[in-house]
Amino acid sequence: MFIAGDDVETQQKGIVIVVWPNSNISKSTKLQYRINRGGALFQDVSACVPTRVAAIHFCAPSNDPFFQVLRGVLALSLMGGKRSRLIFHMGESVELQYKVNGYGVPVDLLPLTSSGNVKTNYLRQWIKLRNNIEEDIARGSQKSGDQATCNDLIECPGSNDVIFRPGKPVMNHPGNVFFRSVLEANSAIHEDATQIEKTTITKLVVDTMIVQRGGRFLVWNESSCCWKAITDLNQQRHKVAIAFRNFKSQKRALRNRQFVVSSSAVPASVMSNPTIPGDNCSDHSICCPMDAETVKEPGRKRVCLEVTGCV
């Protein structure tokens, strides 16, 4: 909480707390505080939180009397407008993940498996990162005599940052979503442009993401378990050029899959009498027009399928 309080964007937008207790806690744990003392204890803890809380998602198994009582205690302990920020989700583990994901919470980043077990990989990476940051701050304070800040090691990307790391959770990052929309808006112009014009387009995309939106291009550093910003302009343009190439390949693959699906949907009566005529097609034929990308591919022909009957 105190580390999140040092981030400006976190203080502006607030944090989202996901409370996901173990389903066996009501059977295996003895409460140190009485249940009627829990409301006052929760109020004391929430008053000490140094960051603004935007929402609290409480996930618990259904049909358990202990969590039903705990649900009422938490609702009564939040006074004023804070109670409207508390959301309860009851159900099984997979069902709870779908419910939380409906509010925009990235379920892939939650340290929980589908069976409800706790994953400690993210915790180990965070502890290693905090050790590296504190050691760097200590070395800088010994040299300058003042408390130094670590600018090279980025603990958490901002919502306007574009992160480059293999994996599906990266695609759902807000900065990456906007970055893909910018690529899609300029893909047609970039595809027909010359090499000099492509360089200009990549520079405009970099200026849109970094200068106008105030974001950064971040890459994952496995050794230090943190993000590092790409400050070199040529490397930023290179990342954008690769993104354009990957977007074009994905678009072509999607178009080919749609063509295969549409071809498989043709009735058997139509496929029984296929013809490959010239440019002149009769009114009772189904033509398969090919776009520019498809014509460039070798081995592809313009096919006209003759319809044997009308429905």
Q: What is the pLDDT of residues 284-294, one digit of tens each?
A: 433 444 443 44
- pLDDT for position 288: 42
Distance (Å, rounded) from C-alpha 307 to C-alpha 270? 5
Mean pLDDT computed over every residue of the chain: 74
Poorest-pLDDT segment among 17-26, 86-95, 103-112, 270-279: 270-279
The closest of 173, 133, 165 to 151, measured between CA atoms, is: 133
> Is the per-residue pLDDT at 139 higher than 80?
no
Q: Which residues sit opposite 287 in a β-bridge?
A: 304
pTM for this structure? 0.64
The closest of 36, 22, 172, 184 to 111, measured between CA atoms, is: 22
Instruction: List the beta strands (DSSP E) in the chain.
Output: 15-19, 53-60, 86-90, 162-164, 217-221, 226-229, 274-275, 285-287, 304-306
> Is the per-residue pLDDT at 307 higher than 50?
no
- How large is the average pLDDT for residues 192-203? 91
Strands 162-164 vs 217-221: parallel, antiparallel or unpaired: parallel
Q: For the segment 153-168, what is each residue's pLDDT rounded down to a tens digit?
A: 788 888 899 999 877 7
- Domain range annotation of the chain: 4-119, 162-253, 266-306
- How large is the average pLDDT for residues 177-196? 90
Distance (Å, rounded) from C-alpha 215 to C-alpha 235? 15
> Is the per-residue pLDDT at 311 higher than 50?
no
Distance (Å, rounded) from C-alpha 16 to C-alpha 79? 18
